[in-house]
Structure 1
Amino acid sequence: MERVMHPSPVEPTLLRLQSHHRSELLWKEKTPYDLSIRPIKIETAWSLFTSYPSHHRVEEYLSSAGLYDVVRVGRMQYDRHLLTAMVERWRPKSHCFHLPFGEAMITLQGVQVLFGLRIDGHLIYLADIFGKGRSWRDMLEALTGYVGPISGRSFVSITNLTDFIKDELEMEPIGDDNPVAKVEKIARLSMLVILGGILLPNSSDINIRLHFLAFLDLTGSAGSYSWGSTILAYLYRSLYCASYEGARVRYGYLPLIQLIK
């Protein structure tokens, strides 16, 4: 007698949110094509580092902040079909993927080993910097020298930001003789692109949060933050939202999903 594997949950009473899970449409064969996962576009952010490799003086700041290994690993090509399949297997309550051979999850150790991101240290808590009456435009100009337009009060276009960095590097490339202040500004700009354009992108595809400026102290505190746990928590929230019917993953560091073992 041929054994048939039923693809849906064996015991539905244990999965109280199944009726709202995106896999429910799959079991009913009602999943439309446009519900496949559409990763956010990160080409603009990566184009900065592929076209203008960081000088070793900038690399030192990025390394001390614990972010340079991400640049060294480089950009990974997204597999939409794999991402869609993995999200359909994600269970928000258990925070793991339910696969035919068992459960799998993204761990802090994996984040650290694969991308060199710190998983201990100070937590990133944006609520600490809200409502302090600080002008993000003034802070952006003071820390980076950027005087271009911003979106609203706390966002900047990633295209405008990367174009500004490229223009700065074209006019005055970073070398061994540049003033420290110049190198620090380019380092902060690069860190802002890494955080807001690659590791912690939002769903807009085009803007970077200026709140990251509060964590870019190059005197040493930038390297004391637990970037790895922040990035993993942010991705978990993205998966939580995307696992429900009609949603998509549009933010978070998606290579962590593709590299899960």
Structure 2
Amino acid sequence: MLLWRQQEHRAAYISSRDTEGSIVSSYCHFMPEPHPSIVPIIQEARFSGVAKLRHLKFDHSLVTALVERWRPETHTFHFPTGECTITLQDVSLQLGLPVDGPPIIGPTMLDWDEMCETLLGIIPVNGESIVGSMIKLKWLGDNLFPIDENSSIEVIHAHARAYILGLIGGVLMPDKTRNKIHLICPLLHQFQEFHQLSPLVCQWSGGRVLNYRNVPHNDLVGYRARIDHMQQNQFIWVPYEGFGSIIDVEAYRDQAIWTSCTTLICFAIVEWHQSDMVKLQFRLSQEIHEEPNNLDHLHKLDMRVRQDKN
């Protein structure tokens, strides 16, 4: 049985008239434009692509319609035309981030106050601005050191580390608390190490302004209807074809593993890259699915229990 969580899936309660109170909240934190002094560091850390996404606008109804099509059992969206998902290829070509490297893990039994002072140059107020290994994004933004052309290299690096933390926790992977970020400072200790974790930024849109004037906004019922009646020729399985001339060749360096079935790990978060379910996205033949990997036991682990238990 491929789908075993139907009774608890929000799609089980959908009514065509169900719009009020059912919209999924989506959010990210606004990040200011990086100071020119830290731009080279952000580029060296391979976060330039993420920095371009620092202010996003959401269509909450569209997000809701997509969430209703998402199945946690297979880690794919289920559409009338077939299954699709966010792949390692999307991460490479849209964000310019690397997808081949060591898992993002490390020791968590640390003195976080000392870590903040060493890497960010300031100690947050314990119990207010920092709780365990999490710091408030507002505190992070309010306490970014003001920098100018006369700032020391230590201050500039501390500012850059804080900015990258803000990108991770406010734009790339917002925590559902909406105002905190896990303090993964060990990953920020040496910017050179990001070369292992982070390819060159790819502007696959080519700087074009996308026009959505003829697309309805915030119409949950309309989005559901359009998805329900989607035809095979209306779904673009390989959206990057034709953009080869504007995507940096470095973005393709991890191409060999884009179709791999593997775990995606970030500390307590473990998800499965279920590429065998979406072979059509890579112009491959799609055979009948085998039973997907059940990660329910891993999803029950989080950072809210004793550190030695996780």
Question: After superposition, where does 1:142-161 map in structure 2 within 5 Å?
Answer: 142-149=118-125, 150-161=129-140
1:135 equivalent in structure 2: 111
2:43 equivalent in structure 1: 63
Contact 1:137/1:153 (CA < 8 Å) preserved in 2? no
Question: After superposition, where does 1:90-101 map in structure 2 within 5 Å?
Answer: 90-101=70-81
Structure 1 portions without partners, runs of 5+: 1-12, 238-261
If the length of structure 2 is used for normalisation, what is the TM-score? 0.59
Is 1:17 the counterpart of 2:5 in the alignment?
Answer: yes
Is 1:81 the counterpart of 2:53 in the alignment?
Answer: no
Counterpart of 1:221 in structure 2: which amino acid? E
1:14, 1:207 → 2: CA distance? 35
2:143, 2:131 → 1: CA distance? 19
Counterpart of 2:24 in structure 1: which amino acid? I
If the length of structure 1 is used for normalisation, what is the TM-score? 0.70
Contact 2:138/2:179 (CA < 8 Å) preserved in 1? yes
Residue 161 of structure 1 aligns to a residue in which SS? helix
Cα-to-partner distance string for 1:160-190 (whole Å, 9 max, x where unaligned): 110111xx22xxx332x43211211111111
Deviation at residue 222 of structure 1 after TM alignment: 2.4
1:31, 1:38 → 2: CA distance? 16
Contact 1:121/1:224 (CA < 8 Å) preserved in 2? yes
2:14, 2:38 → 1: CA distance? 48
- Name the stretch that deviates more: 67-76 or 195-204: 67-76
Is 1:216 the counterpart of 2:196 in the alignment?
Answer: no
2:265, 2:48 → 1: CA distance? 16
Aligned residue pair count: 205
Which has the higher relative contact order, 1 or 2, with Cα contacts under 8 A spaced 6 or more apart?
1
Contact 1:200/1:234 (CA < 8 Å) preserved in 2? no
Deviation above 4 Å: which 4+ runs of structure 1? 29-32, 226-231, 233-237
Residues 74 and 154 (structure 1), Cα distance of their counterparts in 2 relative to 1, 3 Å cut: closer
Deviation at residue 84 of structure 1 after TM alignment: 0.4
2:23, 2:45 → 1: CA distance? 35
Counterpart of 2:169 in structure 1: which amino acid? G
Q: How large is the Cα RMSD of the aligned pairs? A: 2.8
Question: After superposition, where does 1:90-239 map in structure 2 within 5 Å?
Answer: 90-125=70-105, 128-131=106-109, 134-149=110-125, 150-165=129-144, 168-169=145-146, 173-175=147-149, 177-210=150-183, 212-225=184-197
| Identity rate, percent | 26
Structure 2 portions without partners, runs of 5+: 200-253, 255-263, 273-310
